[in-house]
Amino acid sequence: MATDPEALTQLSRLLGEALSASVSSEQVQRAVESRFDHLVDGLVTEAAASDDVFDRESAFEFIDARLLDLSSWLRTDQASRLRSAVHGKIEAW
């Protein structure tokens, strides 16, 4: 089981799904799969709202840092797909 409660709280908010403190990594990963597009949109929205983001490059850096923060709950392939999907949306800015 992953042990980063702050990242779990953030994922729960981004997914729009209540995840209890006793949830397993596998349950979180299933939630990520089922709400993948919602998570992508949430991350893009966070980047757009951040005072630290002022251009595409800073948005990429912001997203990469967020994904690192959440990585204890994500499979490697999920983190990679999230990065690609979010970067693709940011490219459209």
Mean pLDDT of the chain: 94
pLDDT of residue 2: 65
Q: How confident is the model at residue 93 (pLDDT cuts 50, 70, 90)?
A: confident
Closest by CA position to 58, among listed 90, 14, 83, 89: 90
Using the CB atoms, write b or e for 12-25: b if 16+ within 10 Å. Answer: bebbeeebeeebee
Mean pLDDT of 22-34: 95
Tell me which of 80 and 93 has the higher pLDDT.
80
At 58-85, the pLDDT tens digits run 999 999 999 999 999 999 999 999 999 9
**Domain ranges, residue 87:** 5-91
Q: Number of folded domains in the chain?
A: 1
At 11-27, the pLDDT tens digits run 999 999 999 989 999 99
